[in-house]
A = this chain, B = another copy of it.
């Protein structure tokens, strides 16, 4: 279990004793909101995304999950969560039974790390409300691209200023709350301004600082 808890920052986990591991096809479900007593996963390879579907049929993507991310960590504290998680690409997952996280199984120090990782993740996630809700579509789009770009770069998935980008326009649109059509126009504008390139699942950020300005991010001039 030490391995699991060590992974809760943003590093890759190492699967070991008593721990399952499986491959999930692109587009398949990893967790469904009607599940109860699910397991906690760690995404070893590939991408996933967490979303809800509203009564009116619209889908809100809350978060994209990258290799190394825990999947639905709060399940440790709550028996069910109102989200569904799908694999965005082919994904390799390792699984931990919830009972392995009981007080008897983990040290007080490990519990503390789990609490912190879980809370920090939710706080960051909640902050997205402000990032999205108070910006127009161009700013939102720039914000999404830039935050994925920076995260991927930090984790060593970048080659120069190029990062993998398996999202379709529908994913971008549903994450930002705009239509596919408009997402296309907005991305087109960012391209035409020479800020980014985006093709064949690869995103290139040509002028990071300018993109940050468009995104209205702090640290921008």
Any B CB within 8 A of the CB of A119: yes
Chain B residues within 8 Å of A134, by CB: 54, 56, 58-60, 177
**Interface set, chain A 109-138, CB cutoff 8 A to B:** 115-116, 118-120, 122-123, 125-135
Number of interface residues of A (CB under 8 A): 39
> A residues bordering B, Cβ < 8 Å?
52, 54-56, 58-60, 62, 74, 77-78, 81-82, 103, 108, 115-116, 118-120, 122-123, 125-135, 176-177, 216-218, 220
Residues of B within 8 A of A126 (CB): 62, 122, 125-126, 128-129
Q: Indicate how many identical chains form the complex.
A: 2
| Cα separation A74 to B54 with both chains bound (whole Å) | 28
6 nearest A-B residue pairs (beta carbon): A60-B130, A122-B122, A133-B177, A58-B134, A77-B119, A129-B129
